[in-house]
Amino acid sequence: MKNFLRIQSWLTAVLLVSNLGLSQAQPLPVLKISADQTSFTAAGKSFFWLGDTGWLLFARCTREEAVNYLDARKAQGFNVVQAMLLHTVAAVNAYGDSALVNADVSRPNLEKRYWEHVDFIIEEAEKRGIYLALVPVWGSNVKDGKVSVAQAKKYAAFLAKRLGKHNNIVWLNGGDIKGSDGMEVWQAIGNTLNRDDERHLITFHPRGRTSSSEWFHNASWLDFNMFQSGHKDYRQDTSSNETNHFGEDNWKFVVKDLQLSPRKPTLDGEPSYENIPHGLHDSLEKRWSAADLRRYAYWSVFAGGAGFTYGENSVMQFHRSGTPGASFGPVRNWEEVLNEPGANQVKYLSNLIESTTGAQRKSGPELLVGKPGDQYNYLATMLGKYHGLVYTYTGHNILVNLAKLGFTPTKASWFDPRTGNRQAIKNAFKGKEVAFNPPGEPIPGNDWVLILEK
């Protein structure tokens, strides 16, 4: 009971604070691709994608619940929410309003209020500075033959006309699916959206351990790449037959995508969710933690990712005890886990980027003396004009070649991904090759960022 009251009080406080001045909020600028084709901009300013997976937002939440969710995520620094417009072709919202007539995507049900509900949530998100990355129809519907090419074209034209009026949207074609499963439908949706809505960016949300670049990198409608690094651990990947044998090394997707031509931004749009079982389907397996989410975030962004999307098991499906169709063994109601550690910690990465390298950053493996290490001992590096950063997930020593920084450093500090705080390192610069010893013992989850700056 005490835990419930604390959660209720926290949500009330968030609602009161974030509602201040909402009526004065200005329309959000439409997101664009940066001049160097590696990141996003909003009204000419750098935009770091910090997303949350609220997949069933439109289907499961009432208007009040949707506002509470958006308020919570705004307070935690999120600026994008990824959500499905249609989880199934039989989609019904919390009020019992059906999205389609006879489960036909070419016939949106305008006599009911499903699409008014969608408009309401998009508008409330905009008031809070949040963009919505919208999945037109989840991939399993297409794979199961429930959406034809002709239906897809009509549906995408409807979406472009109905929702394209909103500034704060991005189109997220696909939905946990290989591009080869229903290729003609995905191309039809992408091409129609691109033709009828020239303002908004479009990408593709693929199946685990794959990237949109595998099928659509050269498609005229694909503005940036998105990969799903997935929910398996190294051990579970040993016997897998995935296209990319990257294991948990999500940074490798970034490296691969950024080597393609033409260059397009890329990001991890679905890593392992906080509180979800390793491998998804065995509820007795160990569950992914906040530390794992931090690792995925820093690894992929330091490699050159344009942002990062967080996820929590109960929140992504807005689970409540007794709700039919629960997936992947959620154990708590979604309101209870809005304030999980990982949800509060990923904003520190966004803050770090903004306060150091900004959009003008690149991976800097040359900064290290020797190899960057394997699996959890991997050291992720990032270089800016006046900053050099190294992320360690395990807290092992870091040996740096200062001559590779491109500037003479005058300050060094440890950045704590759990709190966002810095600790100054005194007398750091002795010689050209310097060893830095992070605080604490070298164990997984004792992660730190070494910051060297001019």
Q: Are strands 307-310 and 49-53 parallel, antiparallel or unpaired?
A: parallel
pLDDT: which is higher, 11 or 243 = 243
Q: Are residues 384 and 285 in the same domain?
A: no
pLDDT: which is higher, 271 or 432 = 271
Which runs of E-coded beta strand occur in 65-201?
80-84, 100-101, 104-108, 131-135, 169-177
Q: Are residues 262 and 207 in the same domain?
A: yes
pLDDT greater than 80 at residue 105: yes
Domain span at residue 378? 365-453
Secondary structure (3-state) at 43: coil
Q: Quick one: DSSP state of residue 90?
A: T
Among 242-251, 264-273, 293-302, the minimum mean pLDDT is found in 242-251
- Tell me how far apart the alpha carbons of residues 344 and 348 are, in angstroms, rounded to a whole number: 8
Q: Are residues 387 and 344 in the same domain?
A: no
Which span out of 4-18, 298-312, 318-332 was modeled with the highest average pLDDT?
298-312
pTM of the model: 0.93
- Tell me how far apart the alpha carbons of residues 80 and 392 are, in angstroms, rounded to a whole number: 27
Assess contact for 155 and 107: CB atoms under 8 A: no
* Domain assignment of residue 6, yes or no: no
pLDDT greater than 50 at residue 454: yes
- Tell me how far apart the alpha carbons of residues 11 and 453 are, in angstroms, rounded to a whole number: 38
The pLDDT value given to residue 359: 82
Q: Are residues 295 and 380 in the same domain?
A: no
- Tell me how far apart the alpha carbons of residues 358 and 376 are, in angstroms, rounded to a whole number: 26
Tell which of 304, 328, 355 closes a domain. 355
Tell which of 304, 325, 355 closes a domain. 355
Assess contact for 442 and 394: CB atoms under 8 A: yes
Q: ω into residue 262 within 30 of 0, thus cis?
A: yes
Helix H or strand E segment including 352: helix 341-355
How crowded is residue 324: how many other Cβ atoms within 10 Å of its Cβ?
4
* Domain assignment of residue 360, yes or no: no
pLDDT greater than 80 at residue 365: yes
From the list 158, 132, 148, 129, the residue with the least C-alpha distance to 186 is 148
pLDDT tier for residue 408 given thresholds of 50, 70 and 90? very high
* Domain assignment of residue 4, yes or no: no
DSSP-assigned beta bridge partners for residue 267: 226
Q: Quick one: DSSP state of residue 287?
A: B
pLDDT: which is higher, 427 or 68 = 68
Secondary structure (3-state) at 374: coil
Over residues 29-53, mean pLDDT: 97
pLDDT tier for residue 242 given thresholds of 50, 70 and 90? low
Q: Are residues 310 and 374 in the same domain?
A: no
Between the alpha carbon of residue 371 and those of residues 123, 253, 381, 398, the distances in Å are 48, 19, 12, 11
pLDDT tier for residue 428 given thresholds of 50, 70 and 90? confident
Over residues 145-152, mean pLDDT: 98
The pLDDT value given to residue 245: 76
Tell which of 355, 376, 410 closes a domain. 355
Q: Are residues 314 and 374 in the same domain?
A: no
pLDDT greater than 50 at residue 20: no
pLDDT greater than 60 at residue 14: no
Supply φ then ψ for residue 367, to 5 degrees: -70, -25
Alpha-carbon radius of gyration of the chain: 22
Q: Are residues 262 and 241 in the same domain?
A: yes
Tally the C-alpha atoms within 13 A of residue 172's C-alpha that lie toward its C-beta: 32
Mean model confidence pLDDT for the chain: 93
Supply φ then ψ for residue 212, to 5 degrees: -55, -25
The pLDDT value given to residue 6: 43
How far from the centroid of its chain's Cα atoms is residue 152's Cα?
Answer: 26
Q: Are residues 293 and 440 in the same domain?
A: no
Max CA pair span of the chain: 73
Q: Are residues 326 and 438 in the same domain?
A: no
pLDDT tier for residue 281 given thresholds of 50, 70 and 90? very high
**Number of structural domains the chain divides into:** 2
- Tell me how far apart the alpha carbons of residues 179 and 198 are, in angstroms, rounded to a whole number: 22
Assess contact for 447 and 417: CB atoms under 8 A: yes
Kindly state the tokens that stand for 23.
Answer: 């009526």
pLDDT tier for residue 18 given thresholds of 50, 70 and 90? very low
Contacts of 120 (CB under 8 A, 6+ apart): 63, 66
pLDDT greater than 50 at residue 452: yes
The pLDDT value given to residue 3: 46
Task: Provide the CATH number for the domain around residue 387.
Answer: 2.60.40
Burial class (CB in 10 A: 0-12, 13-18, 19+), 264: buried
From the list 139, 145, 136, 138, the residue with the least C-alpha distance to 192 is 136
Residue 302 amino acid letter = F
Over residues 91-102, mean pLDDT: 98
Helix H or strand E segment including 307: strand 307-310
* Domain assignment of residue 255, yes or no: yes
Q: Are residues 375 and 243 in the same domain?
A: no
Q: Are residues 343 and 394 in the same domain?
A: no
* Domain assignment of residue 3, yes or no: no
pLDDT tier for residue 240 given thresholds of 50, 70 and 90? low
Task: Provide the CATH number for the domain around residue 339.
Answer: 3.20.20.80
